[in-house]
Amino acid sequence: MAELVLGPLLRYVGETRATIFVETDAFTAVTVRVGEHNWTAPTFAAHGHHYAIVIVDGLQPASVQEYTVDLDDRRVWPEADSEFPPSRIATLDPDKDASFLFGSCRTSVSHDKQGNDLHGVDALRAYAYEMARNPDHWPDFVLFLGDQLYADETSAAMRDFIERRRGLDEPPGEEVKDFVEYAELYRLAWTDPANRWLLSTLSSAMIFDDHDVRDDWNTSASWHEEMNATPWWHDRIVGALGSYWIYQHAGNLDHDTLAQDQIWKIIAAHQDSTELDLTTVIDRFAEQVDDDPTTYRFSFVRELGGTRLVVIDSRAARDLRPDHRAMLDADELAWVDEQLRGDTEHLFIGTSLPFLLPTGIHDLESLNETMAQSGKRITGALGEKIRQAVDLEHWAAFEKSFRDVSRMVFEVARGERGRAPATITFLSGDVHNSYVNEVTATPMPVESRIVQAVCSPIRNPLPRHVRMLQGTLSGWMGAPMRSLVNRMPKVKKPDFDWATTHGPWFDNNLARVEVLGSRLLLTWARGDVQGDNYDDPKLVRVETVLID
Task: Count other Cβ atoms within 10 Å, centred on residue 28.
Answer: 23
Strand order of the β-sheet with 4-13 is: 4-13, 18-24, 49-56, 44-46, 276-277
For residue 481, name the pLDDT band (cuts at 50, 70, 90): confident
Q: Which residue has the higher pLDDT, 134 or 334?
A: 334
Say if residue 472's pLDDT is above 80.
no
Query: Other C-beta atoms within 10 Å of 163: how many?
Result: 12
Predicted local confidence at residue 315, as pLDDT = 96
Q: Tell me, what's the pLDDT at 477?
A: 78
Q: According to the model, what pLDDT value does residue 427 have?
A: 98
Q: What is the mean pLDDT of residues 129-154?
A: 95
In order of 312, 348, 399, 480, the CA distances from 404 in angstroms are 14, 17, 9, 26
Judge whether residue 476 has pLDDT over 90: no
* pLDDT per residue as tens digits for the range 198-218: 999 999 999 999 999 999 999
Report the amino acid identity of residue 368: N
The residue type of 464 is: R
Strand residue runs (E) in 91-168? 99-103, 141-144
Give the span between the Cα atoms of 108 and 189, in whole angstroms: 5
Sorting pLDDT into bands at 50, 70 and 90, what band is 373? Answer: confident
User: Collapsing DSSP states into helix, strand and coil, what is residue 164?
Assistant: helix
pTM of the predicted model as reported, rounded to 2 decimal places: 0.96
**d(C-alpha 29, C-alpha 42), whole Å:** 4
Burial class (CB in 10 A: 0-12, 13-18, 19+), 303: middle
If pLDDT is split at 50, 70 and 90, which confidence band does 540 have?
very high
Q: Distance between CA 484 and CA 497 in Å, rounded?
A: 16
Amino acid at 427: L
Per-residue buried b or exposed e for 60-89, using 16+ beta carbons within 10 Å of the residue's own CB: eeeeebebbbbbeeeebbbeeeeebeebbb
Check pLDDT > 90 for residue 381.
no
Average pLDDT of every residue of the chain: 95
Dist. CA 452–CA 435, nearest whole Å: 8
Closest CA to 369 of 439, 320, 441: 320
* Pick from 544, 540, 539: nearest CA to 132: 539
Q: Please report the pLDDT score of residue 355 as a whole number.
A: 98
Residue 483 has pLDDT above 90, yes or no: no
pLDDT of amino acid 475 = 76
Whole-number pLDDT of residue 374: 81
Give which of 269, 257, 267 is closest to 299, Cα–Cα.
257
Closest CA to 298 of 364, 209, 381: 209
Average pLDDT of the segment spanning 102-119: 96
From CA 496, how far away is CA 439, in angstroms rounded?
Answer: 7
Mean pLDDT on 368-376: 85
Helix axes 279-291, 262-269, angle to 10 degrees: 170
Q: Report residue 383's pLDDT band, with 50, 70 and 90 as the boundaries.
A: confident
User: How is the chain split into domains, by residue range?
Assistant: 315-547
Show the CA angle centred on residue 111, arms to residues 179 and 194, nearest 5°.
75
Q: What pLDDT shows up at residue 377?
A: 84
Instruction: Look at residue 322 and tell me whether its pLDDT is greater than 90.
Output: no
Tens digit of each residue's pLDDT (9 = 90 or more) over 161-208: 999 999 999 999 999 999 999 999 999 999 999 999 999 999 999 999
DSSP sequence for 98-114: PEEEEE--B----SSHH
First vs last C-alpha separation in the chain: 55
Which of the four pLDDT bands, split at 50, 70 and 90, describes residue 267? Answer: very high
Q: Which pairing describes strands 141-144 and 29-34: parallel, antiparallel, or unpaired?
A: unpaired
Half-sphere exposure of 508 (CA within 13 A, CB side): 25
CA distance 481 to 292: 37
Cα separation, 354 vs 176, in Å, equals 26
How buried is 16 (Cβ within 10 angstroms: 0-12 exposed, 13-18 middle, 19+ buried)? Answer: middle
Side-chain half-sphere exposure of 216, counting CA atoms within 13 A: 19
What is the dihedral angle through the alpha carbons of 185, 189, 190, 191, rounded to the nearest 10 degrees?
Answer: 90
- CA–CA distance, 381 with 373 (Å, rounded to integer): 9
Please count the residues of the chain: 548
How far apart, in whole angstroms, are the C-alpha atoms of residue 185 and residue 189? 6
Give the pLDDT of residue 480.
85
Average pLDDT over every residue of 437-454? 97
**For residue 407, what pLDDT is reported?**
98
Please report which residue ranges of 346-376 form alpha helices under DSSP H: 359-372
Task: Let me know: does 207 contact 427? Beta carbons within 8 Å.
Answer: no
